[in-house]
Structure formats: structure tokens, C-alpha cells
Amino acid sequence: MATDITDTGVQSPIGEINKYDFRTTSKGVFKAKKGLNAEVVNQISDIKEEPDWMRKFRLDSLEIFNSKPMPKWGGEINLDFQDIYYYLKPTEKQGKTWDDVPIEIKETFEKLGIPEAERQYLAGVKAQFESEVVYGSLQEDLAQKGVIFTDTDTALREHPQLLKEYFGTVIPPHDNKFAALNSAVWSGGSFIYVPPGVEIEFPLQTYFRINEESMGQFERTLIIVDEGAKIHYVEGCTAPMYSSESLHSAVVEVIAKKGSRCRYSTIQNWANNIYNLVTKRALAYADATMEWVDGNLGSHLTMKYPAVYLMEPGARGEILSIAFAGKHQHQDTGAKLVHCAPNTSGQIISKSISKDGGRGSYRGLVRVEEGAHNTKCSVVCDALILDPESQTDTYPYIEIMEPDVAIGHEASVSRIGEEQLFYLMSRGLTEAEASTMIVNGFIEPLVKELPMEYAVELNRLIELQMEGSVG
Amino acid sequence: MTDVLKIENLHVSVDEKPILNGVNLQLKRGETHALMGPNGSGKSTLGFAIMGHPKYEVTEGRILLNDVDVTEMEADERARLGLFMAFQRPIAIPGVRLADFLRHATTNVRNPERKEGEDLIPMREFRKEIKEKMSQLQMDTEFARRYVNDGFSGGEMKRAEILQLAMLQPKFAILDETDSGLDADAVRLASQSIAQIGGEEMGLLIITHHDKLLEHNPPSHAHVMLGGRIVESGGVELAHELHSNGYERIRKAYPDAAAMERAMQDEEQTV
């Protein structure tokens, strides 16, 4: 939380804030009381002046959250849910100053060579007028094609029928404890609707509005790609993400309708004290292709397993996941592919790197439901360990209810090889350069899937993570 | 002053097992030396030790490059001082393009004082040069875009090693059985290329069982290794003799070294 906001309990929200217009400069800041209960949830709904169905959805979700045990699938979570603020009116940037930005994040900006003004913006400190212009013109072009691209709160006001139809249908609140939590207190996130047959060639990015929407603690993203449409969405950016809260728990729902194609790419670098517990799932219908490209750096514990449910024949799901676990970090990441229909196919490629005692785990599920015959799926997970203190585990779950399927699973673990290091060093590369090169080579399959600027930044981020790791 | 690589009384162990037992060798820039000897006599070990592989522990003796003691140096420091080794079985580095790797390597070797993070040699300059070298070696330029040794055939690996030799232009190069696993045409191409690249500029230490590689690179000196040391040195005629007659005369003439060779082989079999 920003340092200049004191916890004075519940303030009267209405009238204090500049209603709805999240983009204007509002002096008012509202912060809910610490802890989670119906009162807090009601307040959130009040402030957003939400329709009754959403209020009910939130309150029901709260009950589900309270009744659900902690998930058994994943890493170890030590969180006091009553010691967290669940809602801050997203004018928090007013309360943030450059001084509040953690030192290591500032250093990263500096090393990445990001200009001063952009640093402040990316850190969520600076208002975003310049970017608004870019974002605005982009919006106009998309709007002409009937594309909706906005934050989820705005979408709920402006496109209630779409929200009502799809919200919570891919990941219902009772899916898991953190999905229930997000459903109760969600705020922000992206909403995208692409009408039938519309193909957007350039990637849609939330880069331009990172401070408001993506910095949220419990953002909620919903993407609907209608029949035959095509989109590449890039969320966040490779710049470091930080939160003064200990918990980030987002929900991302994607619906890829018949014959559509959706790629969702994200690379996130969280502050090291964050529990990053995210549920991401897509439904892919007949002949649709859904691709997740998911990169995770930073955080204390990340649990993230992007999923594709292959709902109808011909659907395809591809998940490329990469994690870098450093000191005191556990990256529990992987993917899920659920074949619910015949003639569906999927591929999981998961890569983890661990160093300085970090722990990377692959946790993945491949399930072939009854009737989903003639399905094909391959899983490749590779782990690279940079030093003897670091650790890697693999937890592949495979559940198959049909006999005529083709499932492949390959796993490999390698230590950064003495022979590889020697080979590169014998050509004049320093040990640090050689290790970085080996690591960058290891993640190359992911990097080449990213838009250029992200690929470059990911490589630079990895280089930063590698700094001082050897010699 | 001519550059000199000097090996003095070198003893080397791998996993505490002695392999080299006092090797002496002096190599001047511009000279070509053939290093011959039966399998397991320690030829590759000498190469790895000179290049500074961490597994090869020097227990006695030293390696001098122009009177600078490099015995304790890391491999990259040696490379920047002008040492090079073409590997018999180079390792694959998936995801790393040969061109990217070579651009780093070339930069560091040409500018040994370069600090990390400083600029690499300009892309245009590098591209032009690597293109030239590849066309000399009759290599498709697409080859530079492939991942280092990943999925390379035996011949491709050897040519990639020679390409690196050509780009890095070391003072001294050790060629560890660069001819092995190649057909006659490939060996001819490889040996011609080496002659062309090396010329009178490099000191070459050619480790080989055969003399095919030596046809285009006639050695000024030849050495026979047995039981972890060099037992006999001579001129090109020694290389031809060994190629025609094998190592029986050597084993008889140096019973101590032959006994050591047998002991090392026996130990290998019990491991």
C-alpha cells in the first residue's frame, strides 16, 4: 500500500470518489478495511455501482471462498487472508510516489535502459496522458471493426449483456479457492470481444495502460473470440511488476469459438514477496486454436497452469510455459490440457530454470475424457538447474478414459553442463557470458514466439537474473 | 619475437587418475607438429589440459605461452591469449545460433580487454567476414543460423570447428582428430581449409592417427605419445613411419612407457 494512505477503516465511498471515470485525475482514494467479509464485498459493488447479479455473484463467491479448503494442487501457501486489503479504488497511483518503488525494481529499470519518464510510468507512478493518445487511436481503429477492448469494469457498465453471458462461465467461482476469491473481490483486468471473422494482425497489448488495470491485485480478464476471428493478446510487459500487497490472484477466461484463433502471451516479473496465484483457462470450440505463451519471473510463489479445454472436434491447444526461479522463489508452473471431444490435439512445452536455491516445478495435467477418441497430445518439459542448491520437480498428471489416443511425455533435467561451459569458454566467452548464452538458448523456443520487443526484453531480463550467478 | 607455446614436465590427472606423466613439448608459431600415438596414450588429454578443461588437473609442470604461465588460467583467458582447440566431438548447445556465439567469441578474442556488456563487433562487419570465411570453406551461409552443433552430422561438426578456427585466428591451434569420422573427400576439404587458414600464421598441433590430414599440412615435427608421455620426436619421416608400420617398434623401444600404457588400459577395463 502507498505510504501516505493510512488505514482509517471504512470511509464513505460515495461522493469521495470520482465515480466510474477511472481515467480522470481524482484526488479521492478509497481503501476497504483489511480483511475479507460481506461488508467489504458489498462496498466494492457499491463503489462500482454494479448490477445486482454481479453483487450476488460476488457474495456467493465469498461464501464459496470461505467454505473451500486450500488447494492441494500446487506449492505451499502461508497466507493470512484477514491480513490483506482487498480493495483499493484504482486511483492509487495518486498515492504512489517514485520513492515507494522497491529499489531492485528501480535498478532493473535502469539496467534495462528504460528512459526516466517511461520508468515512472511503468512503475505505476506517472499518469499516462501520452499513452492515452496512442491507446485512444488504437481503440478507434478497433472499434470500427466492432472489436471491444477495454477494462473489465468498464465492460460491465457498457456491455452488460456480454458480461452476463460469459463472465464466470469458463472459471466458475467454485473452481478453486483462489478463483472464488477473485470472483468475490475482482477489479480491473481486460475485456476483449472480437466479432465473427475479424482478424487482428497486430498484437493487442495492455502495455499502454499497465498501471491502472494490470497492476491490480485481483484483476479479471475475459476474452471472447467469436467464430473465425483471430487475435494475439499480449498482457503486461516484461517490465517488473510490483505490488505492495502480498497476494496477486487473477482470473483469466478465454472463449475461442468455432474456427477462431487466439494467442495470449504474457511475461511477468514480480516483486519477490508476492504470492502469484493465477487461474487461466480457455475453452476452444470446433477447429479453434488456443495458444498460451506464459513466462514467469520473480514472486515468492507462483502457481500458474494455463489450461485449454478442447470442447469440440478439431480444437487445438498449445501451451508454452517458462519459469525462472531465483533465490527464495518457487515457480510452480505448468499447464493443463483437457480433451473433451474427439479428434482434438494439444501440445505443452514447459521450461524452467532455477538458480541460487530457487525451485522450479512442472505441474501439468493431460486428461482425455470419455468419448474423446483419436486425440493427440504431447508434453515436453525441460528443467535447467544452474547450481547445486537449486531444485526442480516434475508432477505430471495424466488421466485417460479412451484407448485410442496418442499421448507423449518427455521430461529432461539438465545441469548447466560443464562441457557446454568449457566449449563456449574455450572460444573466449567468459563463464558469465557462456551461462547466459546457454540459458538464453534454453528459452529460445519461447522467445521466438514473442513479439520482437518482448523477446528482446525477456533476453535482457534473463541476463539481469543471471548477473552474479557464476564465478 | 616468434610466439612460443611451451609444455614443461606436464603431469595431468582426471578424477585423480594420472594420465600424463611428464610431457615436454615446444611449439613455435608457424610450425606444424603432428602428435601421434595409439588410443589411450593421452593425446586428447594433452589437448584438453593445454586448453584448460577444469576436469583435467595439472598436478605437476606448467604450460607457458610466450613465457606467461597459463597453467592456472580459465579456458576463456587462454582463448583470449591465442589458444584454440578444435574438438573431436564438440558438444551441442541447443537454442544458441552459431553466428551469435561466434560473434561473441570473435569480439572477445580480438579485444581481450573487453568488459562484459561492451559492444560486440559491428554486425555488418561480422556478417561480411563470416560470409567470406564460409564461402572459402564451401559452407552454405544458412549454416550459421543453426544451433551450435545441434543435430550436426559428423562432417558438419568438423567444418563448424574449422570455421571457428578461421574466424578466431588463434596463435596456436590444437586439432583433435579433426579427420576422424570423415570420408576421404571431407578430409581433403578439411585439410586444405586448415592449410589455407593456418598457413604460416599459426602453430598447429595436429592430433591424428592417420596422415591424411598431414598431406596438406606437412608437419615440421612429429611426436609419438605412449603411456602418457612423448617418447620420441622427429620430422615428417617419423609420421610416415608410424603411419606405415604402427607402434610396435615404439612399444619395444620404450618398455617402461608400454608397461604404463598396459597398466592404464587394464585400469580402464576394471572401471
User: Which residues, listed in sequence order, are joined to residue B97 by a DSSP beta bridge?
Assistant: B147
Q: Is A425 on the interface with B (CB under 8 A)?
A: yes
Q: What does the pLDDT look like over A313-332, one tens digit per residue?
A: 999 999 999 999 999 999 99
Give the model's pLDDT for residue A146: 94
User: A85-89, A160-164, A172-176 — which is least confidently predicted?
Assistant: A85-89
Mean pLDDT of chain A: 81
Using DSSP, state whether B95 is helix, strand or coil: strand
Is pLDDT of B159 > 50? yes
Q: Is A437 on the interface with B (CB under 8 A)?
A: yes
Q: What does the pLDDT look like over A6-65, one tens digit per residue?
A: 222 223 222 333 222 233 333 345 666 778 899 999 999 998 899 999 999 999 999 999
User: A401 is written with which cell numbers?
Assistant: 478414459
Give kind and range of the element (H or E) at residue A35: none
Q: Which of B52, B91, B108 sits opposite A429 (nearest CB)?
A: B108
Q: What does the pLDDT look like over A248-258, one tens digit per residue?
A: 899 999 999 99
Between residues A271 and A426, the one the model is more confident about:
A426
Contacts of A280 (CB under 8 A, 6+ apart): A250, A251, A252, A254, A264, A292, A294, A304, A305, A306, A307
Range 177-236 of B in CB contact (< 8 A) with A? none
> What mean pLDDT do residues A143-153 have?
89
Is pLDDT of B155 > 60? yes
Nearest CA in chain B to A463: B117
* Of A180, A186, A17, the residue nearest A87 (C-alpha): A186
The DSSP-derived string for A118-129 is HHHHHTT-S--H
Give the model's pLDDT for residue A136: 52
- What b-and-e string marks burial along B155-170, b requiring 16 or more CB atoms within 10 Å of the CB? bebbbbbbbbbbbbbb
- Interface size between A and B, measured as CB pairs under 8 A: 85
* Of A204, A90, A97, A93, the residue nearest A153 (C-alpha): A90
User: Which residues, listed in sequence order, are joined to residue A295 by a DSSP beta bridge?
Assistant: A267, A322
Which residue bears the cell 572459402? B136
Q: What does the pLDDT look like over A358-388, one tens digit per residue?
A: 999 999 999 999 999 999 999 998 899 988 8
Nearest CA in chain A to B170: A427
Q: Is A456 on the interface with B (CB under 8 A)?
A: no
Q: Sorting pLDDT into bands at 50, 70 and 90, what band is A89?
A: low
B104 vs A437: CB contact, 8 Å cut-off?
A: yes
- Taking contacts as CB-CB distances below 8 angstroms, the residues of chain B near A467 are none
Give the separation between CA A223 and CA A193, rounded to whole angstroms. Answer: 6
**Interface predicted TM-score (ipTM):** 0.95
> What mean pLDDT do residues A61-81 have?
89
Give the separation between CA B97 and CA A440, rounded to whole angstroms. Answer: 11
Asked whether A360 and A331 are in contact (CB, 8 A), the reply is yes
Protein fold of B4-89+170-270: Rossmann fold (3.40.50)
- Taking contacts as CB-CB distances below 8 angstroms, the residues of chain A near B80 are 428
Phi then psi for B122, rounded to 5 degrees? -55, 140
Q: What does the pLDDT look like over A431-466, one tens digit per residue?
A: 989 999 999 999 888 888 877 767 777 777 787 777
Q: Sorting pLDDT into bands at 50, 70 and 90, what band is B127?
A: very high
How large a percentage of chain B has pLDDT more than 90?
Answer: 70
> What mean pLDDT do residues B165-177 have?
95
Give the model's pLDDT for residue A60: 97
Q: Which of B76, B87, B116 sits opposite A428 (nearest CB)?
A: B76
Asked whether B217 and B245 are in contact (CB, 8 A), the reply is no
Give the model's pLDDT for residue A12: 29
Q: Sorting pLDDT into bands at 50, 70 and 90, what band is A267?
A: confident
- Taking contacts as CB-CB distances below 8 angstroms, the residues of chain B near A445 are 95
Closest CA of chain B from A392, distance in Å? 20
> What mean pLDDT do residues A275-279 have?
93
Is pLDDT of A346 > 50? yes
Give kind and range of the element (H or E) at residue B75: helix B75-81
Between residues B116 and B130, the one the model is more confident about:
B130
Q: Which of B55, B75, B95 sits opposite A426 (nearest CB)?
A: B75
User: B5-19, B127-141, B173-187 — which is least confidently predicted?
Assistant: B173-187
Give kind and range of the element (H or E) at residue A269: strand A261-270
Q: Which of B78, B91, B108 sits opposite A420 (nearest CB)?
A: B91
Give the model's pLDDT for residue A119: 64
- Could you tell me how far CA B111 lies from the centroid of its own chain? 22
Angle at A96 (CA atoms; ends A92, A101), nearest 5 degrees? 130
* Of A145, A218, A159, A217, the residue nearest A191 (C-alpha): A159
Q: Is B109 on the interface with A (CB under 8 A)?
A: yes
Q: Is A2 on the interface with B (CB under 8 A)?
A: no
Angle at A36 (CA atoms; ends A30, A41), nearest 5 degrees? 60
Q: Is A353 on the interface with B (CB under 8 A)?
A: no
Give the model's pLDDT for residue A208: 39
Using DSSP, state whether B200 is helix, strand or coil: coil
Give the separation between CA A36 and CA A17, rounded to whole angstroms. Answer: 22
Give the model's pLDDT for residue B114: 85
Give the separation between CA A138 and CA A209, rounded to whole angstroms. Answer: 12
Give the separation between CA A22 and CA A29, rounded to whole angstroms. Answer: 11
Phi-psi label, residue A431: left if phi above 0, alpha if psi -120 to 50, beta otherwise? alpha
A432 vs B116: CB contact, 8 Å cut-off?
A: yes
Give the model's pLDDT for residue A323: 94
Q: What does the pLDDT look like over B257-266, one tens digit per residue?
A: 999 888 887 7
Asked whether A301 and A270 are in contact (CB, 8 A), the reply is no
Domain residue ranges in chain B: 4-89+170-270
User: A115-124, A264-273, B56-65 — which is least confidently predicted?
Assistant: A115-124
Between residues A120 and A291, the one the model is more confident about:
A291
Residues present in chain B in total: 271
Contacts of A112 (CB under 8 A, 6+ apart): A239, A457, A460, A461, A464
Give the separation between CA B150 and CA A71, rounded to whole angstroms. Answer: 41
How large a percentage of chain A has pLDDT more than 90?
Answer: 48
How large a percentage of chain A has pLDDT more than 70?
Answer: 78
Q: Is A442 on the interface with B (CB under 8 A)?
A: yes
Is pLDDT of A413 > 80? no
B105 vs A422: CB contact, 8 Å cut-off?
A: no
User: B221 is written with which cell numbers?
Assistant: 615435427
Q: Sorting pLDDT into bands at 50, 70 and 90, what band is A97?
A: low
* Of B222, B196, B166, the residue nearest B31 (C-alpha): B222
Give the separation between CA A109 and CA A293, rounded to whole angstroms. Answer: 23
Q: Sorting pLDDT into bands at 50, 70 and 90, what band is A239?
A: low
Give the model's pLDDT for residue A438: 92
Give the separation between CA B5 and CA B203, rounded to whole angstroms. Answer: 8
How large a percentage of chain B has pLDDT more than 70?
Answer: 97
User: A65-69, A117-121, A392-396, B99-103 — which is least confidently predicted?
Assistant: A117-121
Give the separation between CA A300 and CA A275, rounded to whole angstroms. Answer: 6
Give the separation between CA A329 and CA B93, rounded to whole angstroms. Answer: 27
Give the model's pLDDT for residue A27: 36
